[in-house]
Chain A
C-alpha cells in the first residue's frame, strides 16, 4: 500500500533562507507524487506534481521538488523563503484504484517564515 511520511511537523526559516520540506514515500508501483499548500482557512492547492517524466519538477511560487527513486524521496525546496510562503504543506501519493482522488496525504508540515 502507498504511504507518505513527512519529516517534521513544523519547520521555521528566516526570510531569504533555503526552504527544505522532506517527504518520503512507500509505493509498490511507480508513484505519482504531489505537493499541496494550504493557507489559513483555505482548501489545498496543488503546488507541483511528479508523474514519471522529469525527476526535477518545478511548481508555482518558485518551489521545486526532486524525485529520487533510490531514496524514495520527494523533498520540496525553495532557494529563498518569502513571508508569503508561511503555510502548511502536504505531500501526497496516488493510492491507486483508478481514481486520482484516492490520494494518500502526509500529515503536513507547517512552515513559518521569520522576518
Chain B
C-alpha cells in the first residue's frame, strides 16, 4: 500500500486566496483525520471523519476552514479566504478501527505558506 497520500507537498499563496489541500487515505481505513502543526501550538486535531461522515470538527479554527469527504478514498481541507496565520504544516492521517491508536498512519503533510 502506498500509505496516506497528500497533495500538494508545498503550497504558497497570497492572503485572501482559496487553498485546497487533498488527502487519499489508506484503502480500507474507516477513519480520516486532519491535523495542523505549528511551532506555537504543536500538533492539533482539526476534524475527523468516520465512514465519510464528519464526527468532530471542534478543532476547526473558524468558518474559513471547511473539510469534506465525498467518498472513502478522498478528502479535502479548504481555507477560504486564507490568512498568513494559517501558515502551517497540515497532516492527514487514517486508521482502520477505533480503539487501535497504534494503527494511525500519517501522510507526509502539506507545507502551507500564506504571504
Residues of A within 8 A of B (CB): 32, 34, 41-46, 49, 51, 90, 94-95, 97-103, 105-108
Interface of B is mostly: strand
Among B55, B95, B108, point to the contact of A41 (Cβ < 8 A).
Answer: B108
Interface presence of B61 (CB below 8 A):
no
Contacts of B108 in A (CB 8 A): 41-43
Contact (A101, B42) CB under 8 Å given A43-B107, A43-B108, A43-B109: no
CB pair A101 B33 closer than 8 Å: yes
Q: What are 9 sample pairs from A and B whose C-beta atoms fall under 8 A apart? A: A34-B101, A34-B102, A46-B104, A98-B98, A100-B104, A102-B56, A107-B42, A108-B42, A108-B43
Residues of B within 8 A of A (CB): 4, 31, 33, 41-45, 48, 50, 55-56, 91, 93, 95, 98-109
Contacts of B48 in A (CB 8 A): 99, 101-102
CB pair B31 A101 closer than 8 Å: yes
Instruction: Output the residue of B31, B42, B43, B56 with the most chain A CB within 10 A.
Output: B43
Q: How distant is the Cα of A108 from the Cα of B41 in the complex, in angstroms?
A: 10
CB pair A105 B101 closer than 8 Å: no
Among B4, B43, B100, point to the contact of A100 (Cβ < 8 A).
Answer: B100
CB pair B45 A46 closer than 8 Å: no
Q: How distant is the Cα of A34 from the Cα of B106 in the complex, in angstroms?
A: 14
- Apart from A43-B93, A102-B48, 18 more pairs, CB < 8 Å: A42-B109, A43-B91, A43-B105, A43-B106, A43-B109, A44-B106, A51-B101, A90-B42, A95-B45, A99-B31, A99-B50, A100-B98, A100-B99, A100-B104, A101-B93, A102-B56, A105-B43, A108-B42
